[in-house]
Amino acid sequence: MKFHKFISVILHPIVIPTIGVLLFLSITPDVIDKNRQYLLISIVFFTTYILPIISLAILKAIGQITDFKVNSIKERKIPIFIMVIIFYSLGSFLYKIAVFKELGMLFFGINVALLTIYLLFYFKIKSSIHVMSMSSALAFFLIYGSVHSISILPIAIVVIALTGILASSRLHLKAHTQLEVYSGFFIGLIGQATIHYFL
């Protein structure tokens, strides 16, 4: 049980964006000076980690959610809506910077996935945001590697393995059903594919 909780925490959806940016900086063929890299990491960490935590704390304080797990569909609606705004804003900001344009597309893709998950709430489907985050990262790096002729096989293998472990942990913890895990996985893939097709 402790192992499954540990996996769910270290691969939490608000952690994955920062990890994704670190991986991006490690493989990008573009030359980006260190100060710019540090600024990028700081911005992404603040907007996708710190802001969501502050938002959840406020929502808990005013009684909109009972705890940070936000397990029910009812409690997930406002946090997801806030994340949609955050990711769209971050994506728009990065998309305007040539060297970070593709990172902007990553966050737009996640935004599409979040909107899809939000819409599915009305059909009583609670897709796994944990798994969606991992499959979004997987799809992004597969597309990025293909576009820039970069071998991302090691990254892909690790992400696929971690996604499997994470999905298993979410099921073990009874946080999701198999349908919710699978839907989260495919929503993440489709979100990235959609953005890269249209942009």
User: Which DSSP string corresponds to 137-184?
Assistant: HHHHHHHHHHHTT---HHHHHHHHHHHHHHHHHHHHTTSS-HHHHHHH
At residue 88, does pLDDT exceed 80? yes
Task: Name the CA dihedral angle for 170, 55, 138, 146, rounded to a multiple of 10 degrees.
Answer: 170
Provide the pLDDT for residue 85.
Answer: 96
Tokens 């971690």, residue located: 162
What percent of the chain is modeled with pLDDT above 70?
A: 99
Q: Mean pLDDT, to the nearest integer, of 162-176?
A: 92
pLDDT bracket for residue 198 (50, 70, 90): confident
At residue 1, does pLDDT exceed 80? no
Amino acid letter, residue 44:
V
CB 25 within 8 A of CB 37: yes
At residue 36, does pLDDT exceed 80? yes
- How many other β-carbons are positioned within 10 Å of the β-carbon of residue 199? 12
* Range name among 23-27, 43-47, 143-147, 172-176 with the lowest pLDDT average: 172-176
Instruction: Give the SS3 label for residue 29.
Output: coil
Sequence-separated (6 or more) residues with CB below 8 Å from residue 198: none
Amino acid letter, residue 112:
V
The alpha helices in the chain, defined as continuous H runs, are 2-10, 16-27, 34-45, 51-61, 73-95, 101-120, 129-147, 153-172, 178-198
Nearest to 84 by CA among 95, 92, 72: 92
Instruction: Give the SS3 label for residue 33.
Output: coil
Sequence-separated (6 or more) residues with CB below 8 Å from residue 69: none
- Give the CA distances from residue 4 to residues 40, 151, 173, 175, 182, in Å, rounded to whole numbers and listed in that order: 31, 31, 7, 11, 18
At residue 43, does pLDDT exceed 90? yes
At residue 39, does pLDDT exceed 80? yes
At residue 40, does pLDDT exceed 90? yes
Could you report the per-residue pLDDT of 89-135, keeping only the tens digit for each?
Answer: 999 999 999 999 999 999 999 999 999 999 999 999 999 999 999 99
Give the Cα separation of 68 and 75 in Å (integer): 10
Provide the pLDDT for residue 197.
Answer: 87
At residue 66, does pLDDT exceed 90? no
Provide the pLDDT for residue 92.
Answer: 97
